[in-house]
Amino acid sequence: MIRSASSRLALTLLAALAAACLCVLAPAAPAPAIHPAPVVTLTVDGAIGPANASYLATGISNAARAGAQLVVIEIDTPGGLDTSMRAIIRAILTAPMPVACYVAPSGARAASAGTYILYACHIAAMAPGTNLGAATPVAVGPGGVADKQATPSAMEHKQMNDAAAYIRGLAQLRGRNADWAERAVREAVSLSADEALKEHVVDYVAPDLPRLLALLDGRSVAVSGQARVLHTAGAPVENEPPNWRTRLLAAITTPSLALILVTVGVYGLIFEFMSPGAIAPGVTGTICLLLGLYGLQLLPVNYSGLALIMLGIAFMVAEAFLPTFGAIGVGGVIAFVIGALLLFDTGAPGFGIPLAVVATVGVLAALLVFGTVSVALRSRRRKPVTGAEALVGSTGEMLDDAARDGWANIGGETWRVTTATPLLRSQRIRVLARRGAVLEVAPEDNPAQGA
């Protein structure tokens, strides 16, 4: 009994030992592969405006929902609107993941508003041959360009100090060169990529995005007070270009196109009112006017300029209905051109109306006015074709013999006629004048015989 129990125990121990040996000798199962979170790239190419602000804010939000570890903004901009720039910076500062600003490709720049955006990002990088800076806020005077005064005004001092404090705060938040940032605002200085790296304005200089991601691999970035370690080597890159809505918004918020859309819209509605039932001018005008007004409400519009444009258009319309022979129309053209020059209260690059556009629209408006005046003058000289005056010179046929008074068929109607020359039945006659309900007539072949 005891021997049997000992045998069973020995067999159990041998089985356990064999299992242990098999576990040691068997090849280890491969550990599950760890795939790094994706890197999302967004692209800004052109002036900073409402379309860029919406695109970047939406792109950062979508990247957060997709679990991206990093958002890279590839930027090439001459600057833009202050309100749009601040909206972009708010989206960057509240992002739940690191955001890198990469000035690329070679030859690109991050001027003016682009410098602020670069300073706001957790990581700043540039490609060789790029530059940044010239972040001085630009004020606009009546001519649509910056006023050059010997002594800056109190408002300009406020704008300058506000901009300098804003970019200094961003530099201190990211641990970058705050003194140079303030000089970029107050003195409009700029730096190349290599100089920016030496001045501790940017963190990296990389020739392309793969090289930048390789440099960032393993870096710890503080986001909302928490350290995030980047694993960008071999991470999938998801490019999110602007969609059709962003491109449409960018086109509509181009000041020149917004002005043209409003002008075409108003003229389309005018033509529809002048020719009811034409349909096409009314539909086209309504669509253009709504698109133009939508673009204007997103832009920093000078309402004095907008009022002058509307007044000018109203004067040009009035020219078509009032016998002023061009006086009101010319005034309308002048008001329209001045209003177009004053329309946008900004000196931001890319958000002014070129003089060539204003001149072209003004010339077309002047041609429309002069065309209306010439049509009115031709109509004034044209012989009446309706009413009582239209009967003078028309021809008809006598219905009976008449020595002095008689009846005739003229224009399909029966009229009482008087004549200085005896007329015969069925004789052709011509109307010389009308006196009330009586027509003065004469033989058609010899109208000079009439009285």
- The C-alpha angle 168, 171, 176, rounded to 5 degrees, equals 135
Q: Which of 54, 84, 112, 256 is catalytic?
A: 112
Helix segments in 140-254, DSSP class H: 154-174, 178-186, 193-198, 209-216, 244-252
Proportion of the chain in helix, strand, coil states, percent, rounded to 5: 50, 20, 35
Question: Which residues are paired to 430 by β-bridges?
Answer: 395, 442
Output the DSSP codes for 51-78.
HHHHHHHHHHHHHHHTT-SEEEEEEEBS
Residue of 175, 165, 229 lying closest to 202 (CA atoms)? 175
- The C-alpha angle 309, 314, 320, rounded to 5 degrees, equals 135
Q: Are 72 and 100 within 8 A, CB to CB?
A: yes
**Token reading at 446:** 């010899």
DSSP H or E run through 110: strand 109-111
Angstrom distance (rounded) from CA 188 to CA 183 = 7
Our answer to whether residue 158 is catalytic in this structure is yes
Angstrom distance (rounded) from CA 85 to CA 414 = 81
Angstrom distance (rounded) from CA 214 to CA 380 = 80
**Token reading at 308:** 């002058």
Angstrom distance (rounded) from CA 221 to CA 224 = 10
Residue of 155, 140, 186, 166 lying closest to 85 (CA atoms)? 166
**Token reading at 319:** 């020219």
Helix segments in 66-153, DSSP class H: 82-93, 113-120
Our answer to whether residue 112 is catalytic in this structure is yes
**Which residues lie closer than 8 Å to 385 by C-beta, 6 or more apart?**
none
Angstrom distance (rounded) from CA 418 to CA 442 = 9
Angstrom distance (rounded) from CA 99 to CA 122 = 5
Q: Which of 153, 158, 374, 426 is catalytic?
A: 158
Angstrom distance (rounded) from CA 19 to CA 1 = 28
Peptide bond into 137 cis (omega under 30): no
Q: Are 77 and 212 within 8 A, CB to CB?
A: no
Q: Tell me which residues are annotated as active site.
A: 112, 158
